[in-house]
Structure 1
Amino acid sequence: MLGLGSIASKLFGSSNDRIVKGYQARVEAINALEPEMEALSDDALRGKTAEFRQRLENGETLDKLLPEAFAVVREGGKRALGQRHYDVQLIGGMVLHEGKIAEMKTGEGKTLVATLAVYLNALEGKGVHVVTVNDYLARRDAAWMGQVYGFLGLTTGTIVHGLSDEERRAAYRCDVTYATNNELGFDYLRDNMKYRRAEMAQRAHRFAIVDEVDSILVDEARTPLIISGPLADKSDLYTAIDKLVPQLVEDDYEIDEKQRTANFTEQGSETLERILAEANLIEDGTDLYDTENIQVVHHMNQALRAHQLFQRDKDYIVRNGEVVIIDEFTGRMMPGRRFSDGLHQALEAKENVAINPENQTLASVTFQNYFRLYDKLGGMTGTASTEAEEFGNIYGLEVVEIPTNVPVARVDDDDEVYRTFEDKYRAIVALIADCSRRGQPIIVGTTSIEKSELLSQMLSDKKAVLAIADKLIEQADNTDKGEAELAEYLRQAGEYLKETAKGVKGKNPAIPHQVLNARFHEQEALIVAQAGVPGAVTIATNMAGRGTDIQLGGNADMRIVTELGEMEDGAEKEGKAQSIREEVAKLKQQALDAGGLYVVGTERHESRRIDNQLRGRSGRQGDPGHSKFFLSLQDDLMRIFGSDRMDGMLQKLGLKEGEAIIHNWINKALEKAQQKVEARNFDIRKNLLKYDDVMNDQRRVVFDQRLELMEEDDLAEPVKDMRHDVIEDLVAAHIPEKAYPEQWDTEGLQEQVKAVLNLDLPVVAWADEEGIAEDDVMERLKRAADEAYAGRVARFGPDVMRQVERAVLLQTLDGLWREHLATLDNLRSVVGFRGYGQRDPLQEYRTEAFQLFEALLANLRETVTKHLMVVEVRTEAPPQLPTADDVPGAAPQPAEPMSPAMAKAAAGMAALRGELAPGAAPVAPEARDPQRPETWGKVGRNEPCPCGSGKKYKHCHGAI
């Protein structure tokens, strides 16, 4: 029985259908322009770019230009690539231009769709970023789609690992820049560690299109990007602790696989105390949780996690003597990325490889907060609807499902659930044998390297193949008479396996296949491109986001490049290329006749989206195809989130060895389990983001201030204001308000004046003068400090002192910011315990983080003043500012507003903004909103503060 929602959808279409229908009028307008664009010469078509830019300058909007611009790109694609955008691709381009996510099935041409929105937005001249998941795709897409941009007169750049600063700057200044998410994030951090504006690589964050948006903005958003510098080497400690882990027994700790945590029990704490004391890692007789022992216990806990929760060839691999993390969602290696808090060192000790020291955070940003820097953000993927809530809540992105150009013909079978691993893998091998026998290409998706290699071994080893063959034939003999079709299928598979195994010689596999996982990362594109050849068997770890199209019959273009790449262009090369195309066309027909690509999942993932990505590899552009998932009760998802009683119940129901349960109720139950896991993971990411937003407000303030400090030529006035503010703070600390002179702490003030201002003044004697007041003391100190500083400027020269001021300001700000980051990390690690005292940890973190930031501002003023009052400069060799090479490892506002407290701090850090902001214009007092500092414009340092406090701006919101 249909519900009211289902009936309404059938009558009026879903909300998504109505959204898509709304684009139809503009699609027709673009189609109507096609004959006009076809009639233009190449030069005339290229000239449209200059015409559009002129019209933008004259006040036209991008939306007004859209139909013509899309028509130009469509024609440019036909001429440069021989590819014409389908109508549904035009809709996808409009969705991207509007800053939404276009969900398009695999094989629908997302790469080509991006050219439409990219070209239109690049006309503004502010740069468009296209974000990919790896360097290979960034290079490929830039070279491929760059032909269209180049044909239309736009420049294209590529940002990949290993480029110099100069190469990065050049790439970012192109109209279109292809880059990976990691490179973009790290460049942002590195730019904000530079000491000259000209050294910064990135310019504006105007518009970005994120390919595989779910992989980048959801999966990878769990881990922040961190630039760090090494701390002291403690490799002996990690090694010593690693040797103690085998002494622990199961009762000493509790493992939670759902939360991926490991905790010591009460018995374990006693064992730990004993073995650590015996190893001389803690003092005998001290308590395990004394302050001096906390670090050792922390590393012991990380070593336990390394041994019990992290598996080699699943969570990481050891390659060339290094522990390399494997992305759990894509199965790719992540070189250069390291686990934090000593976990990576624990893994290195476990695997007995060289231990690299831990690092101190120098700069960090989450992908959520980096991509929220962009004025407009769009995304493409084949699977986003299951994460629509997260995209909406975190990024303000709406998901629009784009219809396929041709209806999907893939058949998605119900899952088959077996009792044991052995039963499941035997059924998978039988299906592989059946597909290989009939010439149907098959892809088998696994969740780890270990499982992909286990399956590969089962297909390679002659004895294993023969054993499976015998088992399948035995199963066929024991099958009920009413299931003759199943019996015949099992028998044919078993006999085919026997036949192939008999012909095997040497180390050749019984069933030829390709393995695609992190170990064979370099061959990824070639393996995937030929996975559609008839009879091809491909075993892949997490096919998510591979970015290479699987075409039935194989990829002709890839074959031409690999087989004929070194041949010179000419008739001979063209002839051979044509014969390759004809061969691929025949192979495609064979694959179609065999049923298209068969996709097999060896178990369900925690996320439905990853399963959908695997399914989506089959059935591109209306091709036939098949997909099926094989599960066992011993799979992680079933074991951790399923019922413990299920196995016993199935045995009571008489489920025989090798038999499977197939029912759509099972699918629904699994989907509910996955939904629970997805919701839990979303809550974790959302909670992490709430904490990071606190730091992000502060990060924005510091990074914006650094930029202004680098861009301003003369910092004399701000430095003077900081000096005066420090003097006011010193006087306020030692002379209570409305106190008599005999109550003043003049001795303490005199000492502080000497220590901070490098001035030997008779402050104690001043207190004995008749009628002396607090303001008099303050004015004398300011005058003496100004005269002393003016003497330094005269002695070393104004130009030299301007350089020194900038160097001291930037270096002091950077040093204090790094210390602040470390303090916030420590605060964040312990603030959760305050929940036990009925206090909100997040609110506690916000409050203390703001107090720490105010302390940073006060410390900055005092430290800069102290350094500048004592600095000595050799005039023949002015001090050189650090360059980008000296920084280890080494914008626009995000969508969310700052908190009122951070707005005050922002204005404080930006005390110089009235003088420093280039192009900042004064605003009439009546146009200023006291509650919104962004409406104040340029405020003079000595003007009344627009907030209405009655103080001067430099003593209120302009205080630094």
Structure 2
Amino acid sequence: MLKKWFDPSKKELKEAKKIADVVFSLEEEMTAKTDEELKNKANEFKERYANGETLDSMMAEAFAVVREASRRVTKLFPYYVQVLGAVAIFHGNIAEMKTGEGKTLTAVMPAYLSAINGEGVHIVTVNEYLAKREAEGEIGDLFRFLGLTVGLNLRDITREQKKEAYDCDVLYSTNSELGFDYLRDHMVLYAKDMVAQRGLNFAIIDEVDSILIDEARTPLIISGGSKNNHNLYQAADRFSKSLRDEDFEIDLESRSIALTPSGIRKAEQIFQLENLYDLKHVTLVHHINNALRAVHIMARDKEYMVDNDEVLIVDQFTGRVLRGRQFSEGLHQALEAKEGVKVKKETVTVATITYQNFFRMYKKLSGMTGTAKTEEEEFRDIYNMDVIEIPTNAPVIRDDAPDFIYANLKDKFNALVDEVEKRYQNGQPVLVGTVAVETSEDISRMLKARRIPHEVLNAKNHEREAEIVAKAGLQGSITIATNMAGRGTDIKLGQGVVALGGLAVIGSERHESRRIDNQLRGRSGRQGDPGYSRFYLSAEDELMLRFGGESFKRRIEMLERLNTSGEPLSSKLFSRFVTGAQKRIEGNNYDSRKNVLKYDDVLRKQREIIYKERRDVLVLESIEDQVRTTITNSIHSTVQQFVHQVGKNQFEIDDDNIIATFNGNIFQPETLVKETIEKMDEKELLDYILNIANQEIDRKKEQVPPEIFNEFLKVVMLRVIDTYWMRHIDAMSELRQGVSLQAYAQQSPLVIYQKEGLRMFNDMIRNISNDVTRYAIRAQIQYNVEREAVVKNTSTNQGTTDQRPKKPKVRKNRGQRNLPWR
């Protein structure tokens, strides 16, 4: 009762009706306009918007323009209820409109109005076929008639074509391609290569429940394949084991280890390098550091153990073995090399995001579907969208018959096929909905045995989807479809079918989600047509077994024995039981999706920080200020490690370690002299070291033209950020897999993930600062600077390689001279 009282649909529809009345009152005025005048309205609206008029104030007029244009281009004239749906969508809500009510045309009105501000509108579809159909078909023609540009974003087009599509007023795309483009935009090396230059403004998601609910548990992942660095682990391990005590220094307090100048010389000798700390050797330095830690700091049977040729982590607090968890950033592989067991291949996750967090980045989000009310709570909690039930244009006169229930599968399928045969003989078209592909094939075999011609639409032959669905409403047509198939395509009734009772929908079992059942039912009875639907259930269906078990089956068998009428069992009690089971599953699934979101929220905050840093490097003219700030922070925190308070305003400075850390690592050897620095207090020392660093940056700046100096800083910044961020993403995905085991130790995996994730992020920020400082000061600038991707051949978890065609580049001098450092 309370839900009915406080249903946001009522208030929104009341508001929408006022606007729709004005839209219809403008009908005659718009009919009088020429094609050219209608087309020019877009420019007029843009001008008025630029002069301070709001989109809301122009809504009724804009919608009236679209209605008239639609009548001329598509020969379809939007109904009153479609205008109500358009208002709900424009206000950032979900318009729940039944199948056949014209959702596609409804979306044109809010898209047209929202495109006026010049920030672009994205219309999101579940597959490329639908995106292409709308963009290249009548709907695309309607937008073009209205004076707007229409883009189509497909998986296989080039980066230049994508950029053109994103620059259009209206862009049609699939959800996955939008998400991957966002991730790839934050991996490009030049700002001009970003395809979504205007950011994420307004999205209208078609079949919103499918995209934001059904697919929400699968994150988008771009990976760099296997890390081909097996030999590096072995080489770094051999090098670390060959060192003497004077070649490295261990800081017991921070449990960190670093090479001394003699160790650096040995590394340069063994690996045949001029300068170990050149940016191009960043991967080798990382491997050496890991090997040093593995060999000289990590203790077997204390921090880790080896069991059955596998390195396992030992929890330092509980002493438990954490199976399935790995040390991050390649340290685990370094330990495997140390212990002589098989070094596992590292696969790199270089970028990832969930659909929930991607779509929540849009300034305004809306959607439409035939079935969303059952998930209203989730849409409101996670996406801040209300579900507005839009009334149908004509009353629904479909006969939704109560479920039939049988004791076993055999009886159920026999009864179902009998029903199909009876209706086939009458010439009535039938759509049989199944949950699984194997069920559709079982029913197909039974129909073949009875020589009933039919079509099967499932994942194995989805490329014929449009053709099969187009014929599904013809007289005598029998179609078997898995429940998700056929989205976005109407089943239109053939000649004489209305007199036969319209399309009959037969469900072979209940889906675990009520939405999917409602969607199947909604295939029949569109636009006031007659129709029929019924579900056939058995006590052996998966849903019944999960929630009813053997006792439920025995009860059904008993009722069947007592049933003398010969009619199948049908009762409201069974229907209530089924609905209750579905609600419980929906609740569990919602909790699971909320959980995924909580984990991704940890990464979301980190991703936003890093992506902003990276975007600044690409977009800003000069990043000298950022680099100098980074150097100041890094040197400050490095010096602080060796300054210990021993009394009030009294500090003890570890001069030897300061010299060992800065000379040869950050500065040139012999830069800091003990006799000079031991006379200084902690503030003088910090100022002295910062001054040396700034002088070195000033010296570099004077050597080359400003654009070369700035490009050098950008190359350093990009390479370091990308190297560490991609390692961090990978480490976080390993941590995510690993912490799930903590539940067995009575600890909250999410809390551990949050704490550990924050610690790892802070470590990464510190490492980025330190490496930017080291390379900005130590690397030598050269001309012909070229930015280079840290990970090149990437692939997505949608099963396709990221093959972005690039224009052929002629490169001269492929040797060392092309690099911005030596």
TM norm. shorter chain > 0.5:
yes
Aligned partner of residue 391 in structure 2, secondary structure: coil
Q: Does 1:176 align with 2:86?
A: no
Aligned residue for 1:532? 473
1:133/1:545 contact within 8 Å kept: no
Q: Are the structure 2 counterparts of residues 14 and 848 from structure 1 closer, same or farther at C-alpha, using a change threshold of 3 Å?
A: closer
Shift of 1:839: 4.9
Aligned residue for 2:202? 207
Higher relative CO (Cα under 8 Å, sequence separation at least 6) belongs to 2
Candidates 588, 594, 611, aligned match of 2:500: 594
Matches within 5 A, 1:141-152: 141-143=134-136, 144-152=138-146
Q: Are the structure 2 counterparts of residues 119 and 436 from structure 1 closer, same or farther at C-alpha, using a change threshold of 3 Å?
A: same
d(CA) in 1 for partners of 2:775, 2:607: 24
- The AA in structure 1 aligned to 2:535 is F
Aligned residue for 2:707? 799
Aligned residue for 1:675? 583
Matches within 5 A, 1:576-655: 587=495, 590-655=496-561
Q: Which whole-Å deviations, capped at 9, do the CAs of 1:630-660 have from their partners, x for residues lacking one?
A: 1111111111122321222233345389973
1:599/1:628 contact within 8 Å kept: yes
- The AA in structure 2 aligned to 1:791 is R
2:655/2:678 contact within 8 Å kept: no
Aligned partner of residue 433 in structure 2, secondary structure: strand
Identical aligned residues as a percent? 40
Higher deviation after alignment, 816-825 or 108-117 = 816-825
Q: Which runs of 5+ in 1 are unaligned?
A: 235-282, 300-355, 466-509, 554-586, 891-960
d(CA) in 1 for partners of 2:581, 2:415: 24
Aligned partner of residue 427 in structure 1, secondary structure: helix
Q: Does 1:519 align with 2:460?
A: yes
Q: Are the structure 2 counterparts of residues 13 and 86 from structure 1 closer, same or farther at C-alpha, using a change threshold of 3 Å?
A: farther
Shift of 1:230: 1.0
d(CA) in 1 for partners of 2:130, 2:94: 19
Q: Are the structure 2 counterparts of residues 93 and 184 from structure 1 closer, same or farther at C-alpha, using a change threshold of 3 Å?
A: same
Matches within 5 A, 1:388-787: 388-461=376-449, 465=450, 510-543=451-484, 546-553=487-494, 587=495, 590-655=496-561, 660-737=568-645, 743-759=652-668, 760-769=670-679, 772-787=680-695
d(CA) in 1 for partners of 2:433, 2:157: 34
Q: Does 1:371 align with 2:359?
A: yes
1:215/1:545 contact within 8 Å kept: no
Aligned residue for 2:47? 54
Q: Are the structure 2 counterparts of residues 421 and 886 from structure 1 closer, same or farther at C-alpha, using a change threshold of 3 Å?
A: same
Superposition CA RMSD, Å: 2.8
Q: Are the structure 2 counterparts of residues 653 and 89 from structure 1 closer, same or farther at C-alpha, using a change threshold of 3 Å?
A: closer
Q: Does 1:68 align with 2:50?
A: no
Aligned partner of residue 683 in structure 2, secondary structure: helix
Candidates 117, 124, 149, aligned match of 1:124: 117
Aligned partner of residue 228 in structure 1, secondary structure: strand
d(CA) in 1 for partners of 2:585, 2:103: 29
Aligned residue for 1:845? 753
Candidates 788, 801, 806, aligned match of 1:882: 788
Aligned residue for 2:777? 869
Q: Which whole-Å deviations, capped at 9, do the CAs of 1:566-610 have from their partners, x for residues lacking one?
A: xxxxxxxxxxxxxxxxxxxxx2xx211111000111111110000
- The AA in structure 2 aligned to 1:91 is L
Size of the alignment, in residue pairs? 693
Q: Which whole-Å deviations, capped at 9, do the CAs of 1:219-247 have from their partners, x for residues lacking one?
A: 0001110111112599xxxxxxxxxxxxx
d(CA) in 2 for partners of 1:369, 1:718: 28
d(CA) in 1 for partners of 2:631, 2:183: 30
Aligned residue for 2:736? 828
Q: Are the structure 2 counterparts of residues 763 and 83 from structure 1 closer, same or farther at C-alpha, using a change threshold of 3 Å?
A: same
d(CA) in 2 for partners of 1:398, 1:284: 54
Shift of 1:735: 2.4
Matches within 5 A, 1:250-329: 286=308, 290-291=312-313
1:418/1:659 contact within 8 Å kept: no
2:456/2:480 contact within 8 Å kept: yes
Q: Which whole-Å deviations, capped at 9, do the CAs of 1:140-163 have from their partners, x for residues lacking one?
A: 111221111111110000111101
Q: Are the structure 2 counterparts of residues 201 and 357 from structure 1 closer, same or farther at C-alpha, using a change threshold of 3 Å?
A: farther
Aligned partner of residue 720 in structure 1, secondary structure: helix
**TM-score normalised by length of structure 2:** 0.80
Q: Are the structure 2 counterparts of residues 433 and 747 from structure 1 closer, same or farther at C-alpha, using a change threshold of 3 Å?
A: same
Shift of 1:828: 2.6
Candidates 353, 375, 378, aligned match of 1:387: 375
Q: Are the structure 2 counterparts of residues 732 and 763 from structure 1 closer, same or farther at C-alpha, using a change threshold of 3 Å?
A: farther
Higher deviation after alignment, 403-412 or 704-713 = 704-713
Matches within 5 A, 1:874-913: 874-875=782-783, 878-882=784-788, 886=792, 888-889=794-795
Q: Are the structure 2 counterparts of residues 124 and 885 from structure 1 closer, same or farther at C-alpha, using a change threshold of 3 Å?
A: farther
Aligned residue for 1:819? 727
Q: Does 1:165 align with 2:106?
A: no
1:742/1:767 contact within 8 Å kept: no
Aligned residue for 2:150? 156
Higher deviation after alignment, 197-206 or 106-115 = 197-206
Q: Does 1:225 align with 2:220?
A: yes
Aligned residue for 1:261? none
Q: Which whole-Å deviations, capped at 9, do the CAs of 1:694-713 have from their partners, x for residues lacking one?
A: 11111111111211111112
d(CA) in 2 for partners of 1:160, 1:295: 47
d(CA) in 1 for partners of 2:408, 2:657: 78
d(CA) in 2 for partners of 1:768, 1:882: 42
1:756/1:862 contact within 8 Å kept: no
Aligned residue for 1:92? 85
Q: Are the structure 2 counterparts of residues 19 and 720 from structure 1 closer, same or farther at C-alpha, using a change threshold of 3 Å?
A: closer
- The AA in structure 1 aligned to 2:98 is K
d(CA) in 2 for partners of 1:703, 1:884: 16
Higher deviation after alignment, 700-709 or 643-652 = 643-652
Q: Are the structure 2 counterparts of residues 5 and 874 from structure 1 closer, same or farther at C-alpha, using a change threshold of 3 Å?
A: closer
Q: Which runs of 5+ in 2 are unaligned?
A: 230-304, 315-319, 326-343, 797-822
Shift of 1:181: 0.3
Q: Are the structure 2 counterparts of residues 703 and 863 from structure 1 closer, same or farther at C-alpha, using a change threshold of 3 Å?
A: same
Aligned partner of residue 549 in structure 2, secondary structure: coil
Aligned partner of residue 117 in structure 2, secondary structure: coil
Shift of 1:682: 0.4
Shift of 1:887: 5.8
